[in-house]
Every structure is written in C-alpha cells, then in structure tokens.
Amino acid sequence: MDLEIIGISVLWTFLFGYVIVASIDFGAGFFNAYSVFTGKQHILTNIIQRYLSPVWEVTNVFLVFFFVGIIGFFPKTAFYYGTTLLVPVSIAIILLAIRGSYYAFETYGSRGHKGYAFMYGLSGLFIPASLSIVLTISEGGFISLNNGHPVLNYWLLFKSPLTWSIVVLSIAAVLYISAVFLTWYANQAGDIAATNIMRKYALIWALPTIITAGGIIFELRLHNHEHFERLIDLWVVFGLSFLLFIGTVMLIWRRKNYGLAFVLLVGQFALAFFGYGFSHYPYLLYPYLTIYDGFTNHAMAISLIVAFIAGLGLLIPSLYLLLRLFLFNKDYVKGKSDHHP
C-alpha cells in the first residue's frame, strides 16, 4: 500500500474519533445549558458532568492530532488551506477557547454559574458549523488562484446550498450522537428521568440528521459531479449505513439495549464517514491538491508512521485505563465512588 494512503487513513481515522467524541462533548454542553434554562438542571447536569469531567481534555487532543498530522503528512495543505481558512478557522479557535476555558471555570471554579454554562453550550453548536466549512471548501469551486495565491470567495461559499446542508448536518448529527450516547450513559447510571429526556432528544434529532445527510448527496450532484458519481458507486456502503441508522432508532424507540444502539450509531457514522472519505480520493482540495502531489518526503513519512505506532503503543493502554476507570466503572457512573476534583 502507498504511504500516502496509510497517511490519509490514519488522519481520517483520527478525525472520525474526533467527530464522535467531540459530538458527544458539544451536544452534552448544549443539553446541559438547555436544561439550565428550562429548569431541568437537577435531572441532567450530574450525568453530563460525570461523563465529561475526566475526558474533556482528551477530546481536544484528537483535533490537535489531526491538524498537526495533516501538516506533517501533507505540508502543501498548509499553503492552500492555511491561506484561505484564516477567518473560519480563527473563529473556530476562538469558540473552542471560550468553550474549553469556560468549562474549566465552571466545573472547577464556580459550579452552577449560569453565564458560563450558557457560553459553553452555545459555543459548542457553532464550532461544528465553523469547522465543517472546511468540508464544503474541499469540494472545490470556492477557491481560485490569484497571482499564485489561493483566495477564498466568501460570497460564493455563503450562498451555496451545499454549505448550508453541511452546516445543518453537522449540528443535527452532534445533537443526535450526543443524545444517543447520553441515553445509554444515563441508563447505565440507573437514572430513569435523565434516560427518558435523552431518549426523547435522540428520537427528535434522528430525522433531521438523516434528511440532511441524504440532501448532501443530492447537492453534490449539482456541485461536483465527479465526486457524486464516486459516491453512487459506493451505494452499498451508504445503504448499510442507513440500515444501521434504522437499527439504532428502533432500539431506542423500544427502550431496548441502549448500548447496542450506540454501537450501531458509531457503525453508521463510520461507514458514512469512511465512504465519503474514500469517494473524495485522491483529492485533498478539488481540483488543486491530491494526496500524491501534496505528500511529504519518504524519510519524514516513514518516521511519522513509526512515531505514530510507538505513540499508539503508549496511548491505547492509557485510554483503556481511562475508560475502565470512568466509562465502564459502574460505581463511578452511578456516582457512588469518590470523584471530587
């Protein structure tokens, strides 16, 4: 297999990891803020805080890992994306910064502060929106070269239906993924009231998620026909993904086996995410940059992969320990054992 393919697969897998853990995190922040403002805080906050507190920092590292990795494997992305994404990515950074620090201020500083909870919840919805712009841009048509410098056409981006479909999908998916996970987590904790609320949210957000996901395929037909055809070639993958979606919704509807429902959801998004990624091949930025002409030299690629394997050797046992202690520890989830910061 080409080193290019290994590189992009590693990065795409990490991006997928970020999409799942960050969705849970962003959605949880939003549901938390929403419960504060609708007076249901006593039901949800404990469950949400107990899950988020030990893992929030780890979530952030997934993102850092992705963008450091992509510059490492594909230094040319710095030239195209770095120049054009100054504004959207800066806004995402600012939102991430507000969100991360306000989370810490609220959790470790003054618990129950309404302003912090609000900022934290709202910023969590704008971040996926501002980051998903990158996916739109990668489809091509928004960047032109001016004297050899890439320039982003904001107006074209703003009025494109594709942009808005992707933005709406990112928000709906965040809320859906998060609600399914928290339904399971609350059920683990034996918290019936919280489980019921989260179950309701999961069912509410299932429909917009699947509608916008389908809509994007339609938009692509008009915007980037080459990509659309490659997507259609992979119809089996997306069909399977849709079946898994039905499975998740059925299980939640019947209040059965929430754990399996979450596993099916991860499967659904994995198939769609990797199917989408595969159909995008070989472009990083259509039509300027492919993974072949943007790739780093051989020596760096090898050493990055070696570092990556060594790093995983260190990370996987540590992550396992983290999950064992907090996510799959009944006493912790139920709030029995000590967890005061």
Partner 1 sequence: MGNEDALFFSRVLTELTLSFHIIYATIGVGIPLMIMIAQWVGIKKNDDHYILLARRWTRGFVITVAVGVVTGTAIGLQLSLLWPNFMELAGNVIALPLFMETFAFFFEAIFLGIYLYTWDRFKDQRKHLLLLIPVAIGASFSAVFITMVNAFMNAPQGFDIVNGSLVNVNPLVAMFNPAMPTKVAHVVVTCYMTAAFVLASIAAFRLLKGSDHIYHKKALFLTMKLGLIFSIATAVIGDFSGKYLAEYQPEKLAAAEWHFETEEKAPLILYGVLDNGEVKYAIKLPFALSFLAHSDPTAEVLGLDQFLEDEIPPLYIHYLFDIMVTIGMWMVLLSFVFWIGTKRRWVFVQSNWFRWLIVLGGPLSLIAIEAGWWLAEVGRQPWILRGIMRTADAATSSNQVDLMLMLFSGLYLILGMGTIVVLSRMFRKNPVERELEDREAEQGGGQAWT
Among 17, 40, 46, 67, binds partner 1 (CB under 8 A): 67
335 contacts partner 1 (rule: CB under 8 A): no
211 contacts partner 1 (rule: CB under 8 A): no
Instruction: Give the C-alpha separation, 215 to 71, whole Å.
Output: 31
Q: Do you find a cis peptide bond into 282, omega within 30 degrees of 0?
A: yes
Residue for token digits 């996926």? 128
Residue 338 has which token pair? 């000590």
Nearer to partner 1, 8 or 265 (CB): 8
117 contacts partner 1 (rule: CB under 8 A): no
Cα 130 from chain centroid? 12
Name which of residues 76 to 105 contact partner 1 (CB under 8 A): 76-79, 81-87, 89-91, 93-94, 96-98, 100-105
Minimum gap (Å) between residue 93 Cβ and partner 1: 5
Residue 165 has which token pair? 């479909």
Nearer to partner 1, 68 or 246 (CB): 68
Instruction: Give the C-alpha separation, 264 to 246, whole Å.
Output: 9
Instruction: Give the C-alpha separation, 247 to 266, whole Å.
Output: 12
CB 114 within 8 A of CB 108: no
Minimum gap (Å) between residue 229 Cβ and partner 1: 31
69 contacts partner 1 (rule: CB under 8 A): yes
64 contacts partner 1 (rule: CB under 8 A): yes
118 contacts partner 1 (rule: CB under 8 A): no
Nearer to partner 1, 276 or 332 (CB): 332
Q: Alpha helices of 53-191 — where are they, by DSSP H?
A: 56-73, 76-77, 83-84, 86-104, 114-138, 154-159, 161-188
Nearer to partner 1, 257 or 329 (CB): 329
Residue 308 CB-density burial (10 A; 0-12 exposed, 13-18 middle, 19+ buried): buried
Minimum gap (Å) between residue 56 Cβ and partner 1: 8
Name which of residues 154 to 173 contact partner 1 (CB under 8 A): none
| Buried-state track 249-287, b at ≥16 Cβ within 10 A, e below 16 | bebbeeeeebeebbbbbbbbbbbbbbbbbebbeebbbbe
Minimum gap (Å) between residue 1 Cβ and partner 1: 20
Minimum gap (Å) between residue 104 Cβ and partner 1: 3
The backbone region for 148, taken as left when phi is positive above 0, alpha when psi lies in -120 to 50, beta otherwise, is left
Among 15, 23, 33, 72, binds partner 1 (CB under 8 A): 72
Residues contacting 189, CB < 8 A, separation 6+: 47, 50, 333, 334, 335
Residues contacting 68, CB < 8 A, separation 6+: none
Minimum gap (Å) between residue 271 Cβ and partner 1: 27
222 contacts partner 1 (rule: CB under 8 A): no
Whole-Å CA distances, 174 to 119, 130, 168, 311: 17, 13, 10, 28
Q: Which residues is 56 bridged to in the sheet?
A: none
Minimum gap (Å) between residue 121 Cβ and partner 1: 17
Nearer to partner 1, 5 or 307 (CB): 307
Nearer to partner 1, 90 or 204 (CB): 90
Name which of residues 234 to 273 contact partner 1 (CB under 8 A): none
Q: Where on the chain is the footprint of partner 1 (CB under 8 A)?
A: 53-55, 57-58, 60-61, 63-65, 67-69, 71-73, 75-79, 81-87, 89-91, 93-94, 96-98, 100-105, 108-110, 149, 296-297, 299-300, 303-304, 307-308, 311, 314-315, 318-319, 321-322, 325-326, 332, 337-341
